A and B are shown apart, each in its own frame.
Chain A
Amino acid sequence: MAAPKKGRRAPTGQGHPGRTLILVLIVMAGLIGGMFYAGTLTPRLGIDLAGGTSFTLQAENMPGKPNAINETNMKTASGIMERRVNGLGVSEAEVQTQGTDHIVVNIPRGTDAKQARQQVGTTAQLGFRPVLTTTAGTKAPEPEPSPSKGANGKGKGGDQAKGTQQHASSSPTPGAKPTTQGRAVTDSLKKAPSGKPSPSGPAKPTAPAVPPAPGGDQIPPALQKQLNALDCSTKKALAVAGEKAAAANPSSPVVACKDDGSQKYVLGPVGVEGTDVKDAKAVFDSQQGQGWIVQMDFTSDGGKKFADVTGKLATKAQPQNQFAIVLDGAVVSDPRVSERLNGGNATISGGFTQQSAEDLGNMLSYGALPLSFKIVDETSVTAALGGEQLHAGLLAGAIGLALVIIYLVAYYRGLALVALASLGVSAILTYAIMTLLGPAIGFALNLPAVCGAIVAIGITADSFIVYFERIRDEIREGRTLRPAVERGWPRARRTILVSDFVSFLAAAVLFIVTVGKVKGFAFTLGLTTVLDVVVVFLFTKPLMTMLAKRKFFANGHPWSGLDPKRLGAKPPLRRRRSAPTQTKEA
């Protein structure tokens, strides 16, 4: 038993306690420096503590779906919005339905309101449509590309026109922001697409800039007229065009603009829908130099559909071998297909920033809203809990902490210094990390989280208490302080790890499985648990090792909290005579 322990002891404990302490101090200094660098010295507070901005969104009737505004769809929509604005669960945004057709979204102060508007307002209706023909994005006076050979009987111009008409008349957009939806996409995708006709690997159709070319399919005259009339030259016109195209029936052809206005298209019926996308995420494409792209994984069903569509397209001539990825009525990218794509995934490329790619990936993962919404009201709101709640809470917390300090000092005396220093380090680390997570992942602190942090004091303190009690037990056995500190550690360490693992398990499972505030709670719990272990291992233990060398503690000064007499240690074992008697009994 003794031998392996000796071996283990050297590196962990007495090795270089000073170095570990310095490491912790450097990390602390780094975090605090990071706070100053990021310019955020206080954590972002949740809406209950700091107030924020409140949007009211009104559902709009979609053409062809007169009864779409019902309770189920509203619930679904608010659920999707909740996840869009609060994907990690830590941003403390709140989403609730109001009345029959309104949804209220509250975001805490300090959140990027513009981004949030886009996140909740964008429908994110995604569709893959084959390109029937394409032309430059300006309004053309005379019919441009000629209708020519080939037959694709999918075109039903009448339907489409009707759909568009309906939508235009049925969208009452008084006041506020009539074009948010369209603009959300266009804003985020305003850069030109990369003009590289690169070989499209099975998983990555790229977006070549296609010159207007005569199509291979017959374009119905009605559509051709629409295409000519379509104006993609100004932002406003783009938004109008986007809205129209978004409202179109997915199973009929449609005219649409490229999101930057450079191209306009006649597009066939939707081949693969957004609901066929299982997961989407932003990735940085360094190989083909496309910058940020959004990578989509299809469901098995969607993958099949995608393979079929691309297989069909690959046999056709330019530009009908292209398909357009249409998001809320605007063509985001129009890759050319040269072969059947069986990979079950696809990418969207074209001038994304990291932020816009991540946003789009989020939206596609969480699904399209079943309804389209417009923002009818945006106002600031004050904290949901009065300032008096926070002040009273802080006051009460301070009183509680003072009592904890008094208790610790009274009971552990000198050792309390170690406990308080460790708690202090833990508090500074928690505070700095929470502050930095504000800008990083939108972490916001609400009242329950503050209370949770107060309970975390107990759990963190427990680790020290477990260790101190071990040390004292060792001293009661008659050991001097330094061996006691080292011998007590392995056992205290095991207890701390085993019990913290349970807490961490709870945090990890809840974080993975749940959504919304529960997820946020799990995040906080996991963070405090990890910090507890870090502080005990890298701060408390080395500090104890160092203090054990000081006379004040080593000699068991009455105020050190380690006085063998007070602890009721066994009489010094030097008395050889007494030892045999004792052992005989045992």
Chain B
Amino acid sequence: MSKLGSIGARLYRGEVGYDFIGKRKIWYGISILITITAIVGLAVRGLNFGIEFSGGAVFTTPKTSVSASQAQHQAESAASGHQAVVQKLGSGGLRIQISGLDTKQSLPVQEELAKDLNVPVKDVNTQLVGPSWGEEIANKAWLGLGIFMVLVVLYLAIAFEWRMALAALIALIHDLTITVGVYALVGFEVTPGTVIGLLTILGYSLYDTVVVFDSLKEASKDLTKQNRFTYSEIANRSINGTLVRSINTTVVALLPVAGLLFVGGGVLGAGMLNDISLALFVGLAAGAYSSIFIATPLVADLKNREPQMKALTKRVMTKRAAAAAKGASQEDGQDEASGVAVAGDDDGAAAVVGPRHQPASRNRGRGRPSGKRR
């Protein structure tokens, strides 16, 4: 673990790090590829809506000794692939709801069910049911989503800046598309659980992006007052600085969901549990991935179009060229020392000559109650 800890330290100091921004084109490419796959999957296979959305048939049987879970397996095999919801009624009978059946299709299923459950066919009452998740719920949900998107973009634009808001929105759409696409490809039924899962991801994806942006904002404070780092480099360092946090958070969030998906779902096969945990698993993973590999590089791209940032890049390059002429060794040392300065908040403006002496004076404060010497 100490190894991990020291990697964390080195990441923090910028000694090691992955060049997220530099290699962004690769990741953009991968994301576009996945997104296209998801969209194609969605277009070709479509979503398989459950009974709550599309309605279906409901079979009511007389008193039977078959248990609800047995009946569920039988009903699902009778309805070849459609999901069944089975409830035992107070009378001892069963209520079996199967999605996607119309009047014609429900007849053979009724016969099959009667045979399986060992009751006369005429005693199985068949009716079509409408969706319990009506259009109104869906419409209002879309409206709510729309309003939320507008507000969150406004909020991010004010709290951060519009580039970050835009990047966060793109990352969010990216995450949701991938999740829905994977859902279409796997072919699970869309249940209210899926929708709830998607909404959970909506919140999580933005949350995760905002945490990364917050450190980026902090790191890029007073950026134009120095001329040692370009915006891209600062962004890269801030991603690396929060990498440990990102990994830990993702692991902690994903482990229970993975448990639900692989242990719970794996043991039981299809079911509501699987629907939700699949949506959550894919979405959480995509959310963590996109805030690092997509959102932040996008911000850097947008930011680098600013005249100020272009000028900064130019200054930095000129200075580097000059430094390279002087000798590469000094450059290295400079990088390391200022890495600390950039990531630490108060010393963010360390580029100026003054604060250089601060570390020295800080020493004298050691051993005193905190803050006395800052």
A residues whose Cβ falls under 8 Å from a Cβ of B:
1-2, 5-6, 9, 48, 51, 54, 74-75, 78-79, 82, 94-99, 102, 104, 379-389, 392-393, 395-401, 403-404, 407-408, 410-411, 413, 447-449, 451-452, 454-455, 457-459, 461-462, 465-466, 469, 472-473, 476-477, 479-480, 482-483, 486-487, 491, 494-495, 498-503, 505-507, 509-510, 512-518, 521-522, 525, 563, 566-569, 573-574, 576, 579-580, 582-586
> Knowing A499-B214, A568-B6 touch, does A381 contact B89 (C-beta < 8 A)?
yes
> Knowing A96-B130, A517-B133, A518-B144 touch, does A476 contact B12 (C-beta < 8 A)?
yes
Those of B234-282 within 8 Å (CB) of chain A: 241-242, 244-245, 248-265, 267-268, 271-273, 276-277, 280
- Contact: B276 with A518, CB < 8 Å? no
- Contact: B252 with A97, CB < 8 Å? no
| Seed contacts A411-B248, A462-B245; 9 additional CB < 8 Å A-B pairs | A386-B86, A447-B193, A451-B260, A455-B280, A461-B252, A514-B137, A517-B196, A518-B196, A568-B8
Residues in B whose Cβ lies below 8 Å from that of A466: 211, 245
Complex CA–CA separation, A479 to B259 (angstroms): 39
- Contact: A585 with B337, CB < 8 Å? yes
Q: Offer 29 A-B interface pairs, CB within 8 angstroms, sorted by A.
A: A2-B346, A75-B130, A99-B128, A388-B69, A393-B273, A395-B264, A396-B261, A403-B256, A407-B248, A448-B196, A451-B197, A454-B257, A457-B252, A465-B248, A469-B8, A473-B343, A487-B370, A498-B159, A502-B152, A502-B207, A509-B144, A521-B196, A521-B199, A567-B5, A568-B9, A573-B366, A585-B337, A586-B341, A586-B356
- Contact: B356 with A584, CB < 8 Å? yes
- Contact: B1 with A410, CB < 8 Å? yes
> Knowing A384-B85, A477-B344, A585-B337 touch, does A465 contact B133 (C-beta < 8 A)?
no
> Knowing A2-B371, A469-B244 touch, does A514 contact B6 (C-beta < 8 A)?
no
Select B88's contact among A1, A382, A396, A506, beta carbons within 8 Å.
A382
- The chain B residue sitting closest to A83, CB to CB, is B136
Minimal beta-carbon separation of A380 from chain B (angstroms): 4
- Contact: B256 with A401, CB < 8 Å? yes
**Range, interface on chain B:** 35 or more
Complex CA–CA separation, A4 to B6 (angstroms): 33
Minimal beta-carbon separation of A392 from chain B (angstroms): 4
Please tell me if B302 contacts chain A, counting CB pairs below 8 Å: no
Please tell me if B322 contacts chain A, counting CB pairs below 8 Å: no
Q: What sequence of 0s and 1s flags, for each residue 203-245 of chain B, a beta carbon within 8 Å of any chain A beta carbon? A: 1101110110011001000000000000000000000011011
- Contact: B131 with A48, CB < 8 Å? no
> Knowing A48-B272, A400-B260, A459-B253 touch, does A386 contact B68 (C-beta < 8 A)?
yes
Minimal beta-carbon separation of B304 from chain A (angstroms): 24
Select A462's contact among B214, B249, B333, beta carbons within 8 Å.
B249
Residues in B whose Cβ lies below 8 Å from that of A449: 196
Those of B337-367 within 8 Å (CB) of chain A: 337-338, 340-341, 343-346, 350, 356-360, 362-363, 366
Please tell me if B170 contacts chain A, counting CB pairs below 8 Å: no
9 interchain residue pairs of minimum CB distance: A458-B253, A568-B9, A400-B259, A400-B256, A483-B370, A396-B264, A97-B130, A513-B144, A448-B196
Please tell me if B167 contacts chain A, counting CB pairs below 8 Å: no
Please tell me if B202 contacts chain A, counting CB pairs below 8 Å: yes
